[in-house]
A and B are shown apart, each in its own frame.
Chain A
Amino acid sequence: MSSPLLALTPEGLFCPAGGFHIDPVRPVARALITHGHSDHARPGHHAVLATDETLGIMAIRCGETFAREKQAASYGEAIQLGDVRVSFHPAGHVLGSAQILIQGKHHGRQTRIVISGDYKRQRDPTCLPFEVVRCDIFITEATFGLPVFRHPDTRHEMERLLASHKLFPERTHLVGAYSLGKAQRVAAILRETGYDRPIYLHGAVDRLMEFYRTRGIDFGELRKVSASDRSKLAGEIVLCPPSAISDLWSRKFPEPVAAFASGWMRIRARARQRGVELPLVISDHADWDDLTATIIETGCSEVWVTHGEADALVHWAQTRQLRAQPLHMLGYGDEEETTEDGAEAMS
């Protein structure tokens, strides 16, 4: 037997022995979904296996009918699919996010493959922390796969937001934060730093905030921004989708300060290009130091890089005597980037 445990198909990663795809970009018979971001969790598959939280998020974003059959996987529970065993393990990316461990024959040898999905190692009070799963082949993302991406402590970034809030009490601070994961993390850490005013929400952020709340995460008082009160929100902090900070919507606020919470904000030219005045380096993804540390911790001998800045990470792995290859998978990326044009077109 020399068939691979995982193969690359136009739909995405496919496990022939188990008969399933992982995060496929086109409709398939059986999909295992790592997390609810729209580039990984797409509607139209026949059967979906994911964590309960991810299924809930998909139902909110794609409608209840996103798949014919839905099966919830608990973290750590082994599930037999065909000739392979799969299990879901926390990825620390967003609520419900998981790495998927597949155990089975790879070119005739019993092998453990971990598909990390998107992940991070920084602390996040809104989801379970990343769990290191030992494996032979580690399949990683590389959204921030360059050594210039080193995320600072999130609390420090939040203190910068509060310092600006204190210095400009007559202005509204608009914080662009992606509606799934980032907005909740920003709100939760704001509370940890002692910010006790109501946090205002753009309509697009509101639904998922509510979902997180039903899962037991407390954000203190949240208020929806209505069209009529925008001009009265001087001195408040408003969470909104990133595209909204430079959108028509932002105009009614008193002298808005455009803040943006994203790992991309590490690069000054990126922040400037987006017209951001207060770049906050807060990311859902592992930075360079965490990407490389994680590869070592998994004990893998082979690394596959799905998307992002693959070249640098592959080069680094090779200097560590690891087999490494870029998969150059299309259709994945930072959701903030991929949805920007769509949001812009609707404005």
Chain B
Amino acid sequence: MNRFAELLDAIAFESSRNGKLRLISAYFREAPDPDRGYALAAMTGTLDFAHAKPALIRTLISERTDPVLFALSYDYVGDLSETVALMWPADARQVDAPRLGEVVATLSHTGKTQLPKVLAGLLDRLDEKGRWALLKLITGSLRIGVSARLAKTALAANAGIAVNEIEEIWPGLSPPFTDLFAWIEGGERPEVSDPAPFRPVMLAHAIEERDFEALSPQEFHAEWKWDGIRVQAVAGTGENGARVARLYSRTGEDISGAFPELAQALCEERFGDCAVDGELLVMQDGKVQSFAMLQQRLNRKAVTPKLIVDYPAHIRAYDLLAEQGDDLRSLTFAARRERLTAFIGRLEHPRFDLSPLLSFESWEDLAASRAQPADFDTGENAQAIEGVMIKRSDSPYVPGRPKGLWFKWKRDPFNIDAVLMYAQRGHGKRSSYYSDYTFGVWRSGESGEELVPVGKAYFGFTDEELKQLDKFVRENTTNRFGPVREVAYGQTQGLVLEVAFEGVQNSPRHKSGVAMRFPRISRIRWDKPAGEADRLETLAALVGTRK
């Protein structure tokens, strides 16, 4: 457990993705079974053991320390698990620190009444980091910036295989994954007989205007890019004849629990054995709703009936990967599309429909569709269109992001001119740079014109521009708050940034009342006086609209 805690501690401080990968890979090489398997489970959210409420932790520490000293310490540290881990009175020499495997085994057999005693016994045998990691795990508040995908990637790196190969068999595996580790280290590939397996997803490259010259429109299909989340809906029948249905995110995470109405639909016999690649959307009265509506349904383990009624989920199908035992992935897009059209037609299910193809003779035709989707039979749904997808008609379904097969051509973003107000130091490679920028626009305040912060951006600029911005911040600092600097701004001074973004939402949490989606710095307007930057009304008028 102490070794695993060292890993969690190190990745929590490591800011680069590559650095995290190497730390995790090294751990998987060095740690024994079943510890590393449970570690993988903890990082992929598949670890299942008793949970403890913060109140229990407080009780345990209050039985062991002076309440005044605890209160002063908690106030200073500001985090319950960390305070308790540091203060826990334990012998400095851990003669017999429990391994992660033992901790998991113990906790999975522990009932509620026994938990305080068992947990205290484990804490007594761990060092400070071990106690911290255990308390974070058991209170379900471990936040270390590692996705399930990253953990699997680290594992794949050890074997020199593609992460997709792990994702393909992942749903059939369970902690402590000894068969998976054996395979990684040169053994047999685990046999998984999952009636509804995940198939690693095929992704597209962003296309630029100049790329079109080399591409012939006749060799491509095109369709709308819908603004939801990419999912894979899979249905099958188990050995015992029971229907199995799963909805996967594009990284292979099982999100069926959050969308029971779709899982239920997939269980119907008419779906047979199938794997549909599509966009998950919220649809009301035949109209695709905004991404903000879909967000109400995301990141939930369970949902209320009210949510299902208020935000009905829908799948708009892009592709068919398997049908009735046939793996269709090696067919061409055109051939798969024919199978998909027939399949969706046969289904006649209100929660499933087909993403329509766009007809075009030239790239100019397609550009027109992209610029004005409302003119092309999309009606009110035009707001939910992010751009167009361009797919080679002869492309097989290749996991990952293969070159030259699929392209995404997003609609142009919105732009505003905003004034730089605050800058914060970045992390990792950027820790010596002021690289996170808070910017504001003008509004009429009680005491005249004032700038109100509307967003924060930390990318979009080149390395050279970063140097210039950093220099500007250092030379124009008016105030310091820890790692944050306030810079000079006003009617006659300040730096104007052109900010690109995808949309605006009302947000009572923000002082300005609006929140921008996906803002980034598109240009530094050294030439523009701050007094001529945009106004809040301009931004507010864009709420809910789409360019």
A residues apposed to B, CB below 8 Å: 146-150, 152, 160, 164, 167-168, 245-251, 255, 258, 266-269, 271-279, 309, 311-312, 315-316, 319, 347
Contact = CB atoms under 8 A, between A and B. Distances in A.
B427 A148 contact: no
Interface in B17-65: 19, 22-23, 26, 65
B429 A267 contact: no
7 contacts: A146-B76, A148-B87, A149-B86, A250-B432, A268-B79, A275-B431, A311-B72
A245 B432 CA distance: 8
Contact of B69 (A152, A255, A266, A315): A315
Contacts of B140: none
Contacts of B474: 347
Nearest to A265: B13
Given A150-B86, A316-B66, A167 B22 contact: yes
A147 B425 contact: no
Interface centre among B66, B69, B87, B428 (most CB of A within 10 A): B69
Contacts of B429: 255
Interface string B62-82: 000110110011001111001
A312 B432 contact: no
B77 A267 contact: yes
A148 B73 contact: yes
B73 A312 contact: yes
B22 A246 contact: no
B83 interface: yes
B66 A148 contact: no
A312 B72 contact: yes
Interface centre among A148, A167, A311 (most CB of B within 10 A): A148
Contacts of B22: 167-168
B350 interface: no
Given A146-B73, A147-B69, A147-B87, A247 B79 contact: no
Contacts of A248: 432
Interface of B: 6, 10, 12-16, 19, 22-23, 26, 65-66, 68-69, 72-73, 76-79, 82-83, 86-87, 127-128, 425-429, 431-432, 474, 482-483
A266 B482 CA distance: 19
Nearest to A316: B69
Contact of A279 (B13, B73, B79): B13
Given A148-B76, A148-B86, A268-B82, A319 B13 contact: no
Given A160-B6, A268-B82, A271-B13, 13 more contacts: A147-B69, A147-B73, A147-B87, A167-B26, A168-B22, A268-B79, A269-B77, A269-B78, A273-B482, A274-B483, A275-B431, A277-B19, A315-B68
Nearest first, the 4 closest Cβ-Cβ pairs linking A and B are A148-B86, A275-B431, A148-B73, A312-B72
B432 A251 contact: yes
Nearest to B430: A275
Contacts of B426: 275
Nearest to A164: B10
B72 A150 contact: no
Contacts of A168: 19, 22
A273 B483 contact: yes
Contacts of B68: 312, 315
Contacts of A167: 22-23, 26
A247 B19 contact: no
Contacts of A316: 66, 69
B425 A275 contact: yes
B13 A148 contact: no
Given A246-B431, A276-B13, A312-B72, A148 B83 contact: yes
A160 B48 CA distance: 30
A144 B193 CA distance: 57
B12 A268 contact: yes
A168 B483 CA distance: 27
Nearest to A270: B77
Contacts of B15: 277
A124 B128 CA distance: 23
Contact of B431 (A149, A164, A258, A269): A258
Nearest to B12: A268
Contacts of B127: 152
Contacts of A272: 13
Contacts of A146: 69, 72-73, 76
A160 B483 CA distance: 26
B65 A147 contact: yes
Contacts of B82: 148, 267-268
Contacts of B427: 275
